C-alpha cells in the first residue's frame, strides 16, 4: 500500500526545509518575500504530488519547483536585467541534485550538527517557554503534567507551546528577517486562564 501523502510529504519534502531556505536566501534578493515563496513552493509540490508522486528524487523535484517559481517571478517582475540573467543561469544548471550539493556546502552538515543547531534554537527560547517545550517533547510529559509540575494552568502551557513553536519556526527554519519581524505578542502569557 502506498504511504500516505502527508507522511511522504513530511519525510521527503519538508525534511529539506533548511536547505531550501539557504537556497532561496542565496538566490532570492528580497529576503522578506522568502517565507511566502517557500509556502508557495511547498503547496505546489504538494499539489503536484497529489496527482502523481515524483518518480525519481523528491528533493530534486522540490528544488526544480523552487527554480521554476523563482524564474516565473523574475520574468513577471522584470528584475534588473543581469541579475535575472545571473540568477537564471545559476538556476538552470542541468542536474538539480548535483547543483544543490555544489551550492550548499552546509547541506553536508552532519545530522548531529543539525541537532546542535536545534539545541541552540531551543536555548534561545524564553526560559519558561523552553522548560515547557523540553518537558513536553523530551520528557514526553503531557500538557496537563507539565502544568502540574510548573504550577501553571494547562491553558498557559498551551500558550507557551504556541509561543515556543512560533519562535522555533522562525529561528530554526526561517530566515534572519523572519526572526526580526515578530508580529506575535504573548506578553500576557503568564496570566492564568482558569
Chain positions 19 to 38 lying near another protein, rule: CB under 8 A, are 26-27, 35-36
Instruction: Render 51-98 in DSSP notation, one character per residue.
Output: H---SS-HHHHHHHHHHHHHHHHHHHHT--HHHHHHHHHHHT-S-HHH
Closest CA to 63 of 80, 81, 51, 45: 45
Number of residues that bind another protein (CB under 8 A): 73
- If one asks whether residue 95 binds another protein (CB under 8 A), the answer comes out as no
For residues 184 and 163, the answer to whether their CB atoms sit within 8 Å is yes
Among 3, 30, 32, 43, binds another protein (CB under 8 A): 43
- If one asks whether residue 15 binds another protein (CB under 8 A), the answer comes out as yes
- Could you say which residues in the range 127-166 bind another protein, by CB under 8 A? 130-131, 133-139, 141-144, 149, 154, 157-159, 161-162, 165-166
- If one asks whether residue 75 binds another protein (CB under 8 A), the answer comes out as no
For residues 21 and 38, the answer to whether their CB atoms sit within 8 Å is yes
Among 3, 98, 115, 191, binds another protein (CB under 8 A): 115
Amino acid at each position: 500500500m502506498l504511504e500516505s501523502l502527508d507522511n511522504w510529504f513530511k519525510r521527503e519534502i519538508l525534511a529539506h526545509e533548511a536547505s531550501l531556505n539557504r537556497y532561496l536566501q542565496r538566490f532570492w534578493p528580497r529576503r522578506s518575500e522568502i517565507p511566502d515563496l517557500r509556502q508557495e513552493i511547498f503547496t505546489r509540490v504538494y499539489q503536484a504530488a497529489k496527482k502523481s508522486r515524483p518518480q525519481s528524487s523528491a528533493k530534486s523535484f522540490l528544488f526544480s519547483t523552487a527554480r521554476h517559481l523563482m524564474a516565473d517571478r523574475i520574468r513577471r517582475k522584470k528584475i534588473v536585467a543581469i541579475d535575472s540573467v545571473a540568477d537564471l543561469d545559476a538556476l538552470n544548471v542541468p542536474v538539480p541534485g548535483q547543483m544543490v550539493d555544489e551550492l550548499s556546502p552546509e547541506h553536508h552538515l552532519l545530522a548531529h550538527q543539525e541537532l546542535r543547531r536545534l539545541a541552540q534554537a531551543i536555548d534561545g527560547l524564553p526560559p519558561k517557554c523552553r522548560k515547557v517545550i523540553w518537558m513536553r517533547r523530551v520528557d514526553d510529559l503531557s500538557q496537563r503534567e507539565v502544568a502540574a509540575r510548573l504550577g501553571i494552568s494547562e491553558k498557559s502551557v498551551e500558550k507557551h507551546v504556541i509561543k515556543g513553536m512560533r519562535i522555533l519556526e522562525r529561528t530554526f527554519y526561517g530566515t534572519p528577517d523572519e526572526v526580526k519581524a515578530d508580529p506575535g505578542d504573548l506578553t500576557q502569557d503568564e496570566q492564568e486562564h482558569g
